[in-house]
Amino acid sequence: MSKGIAKSDGKVSVKPTVPDLRFEQTFRQSLKREALKQNKLTLSVADGSVIDPPITPYVVAKVVFKDVLLSPFLQGVALSLFYMAARPWLQHCREAGRNLTKRILSSLFGGDLIHRPPKAI
Residue with the bigger pLDDT between 69 and 13: it is: 69
Residue with the bigger pLDDT between 8 and 15: it is: 15
Domain-embedded: residue 36: yes
Domain-embedded: residue 110: no
Domain-embedded: residue 90: no
Domain-embedded: residue 58: yes
Are 65 and 90 in contact by the 8 Å Cβ rule? The answer is: no
For 61, the domain range is 21-83
Distance in Å from the first CA to the final CA of the chain: 81
Domain-embedded: residue 38: yes
pLDDT band at 93 (very low <50, low <70, confident <90, very high): very high
Domain-embedded: residue 92: no
The chain-wide mean pLDDT, for the chain, equals: 81
Are 51 and 43 in contact by the 8 Å Cβ rule? The answer is: yes
The region of weakest confidence among 23-37, 40-54, 84-98 is: 40-54
DSSP class of 14:
P
Report the pLDDT averaged over residues 64-92: 95
Q: State the pLDDT at residue 6.
A: 53
Q: State the pLDDT at residue 3.
A: 54
Report the pLDDT averaged over residues 63-70: 91
Domain-embedded: residue 6: no
Domain-embedded: residue 72: yes
Are 53 and 39 in contact by the 8 Å Cβ rule? The answer is: yes
Q: How many domains does the chain have?
A: 1
Report the pLDDT averaged over residues 79-104: 95
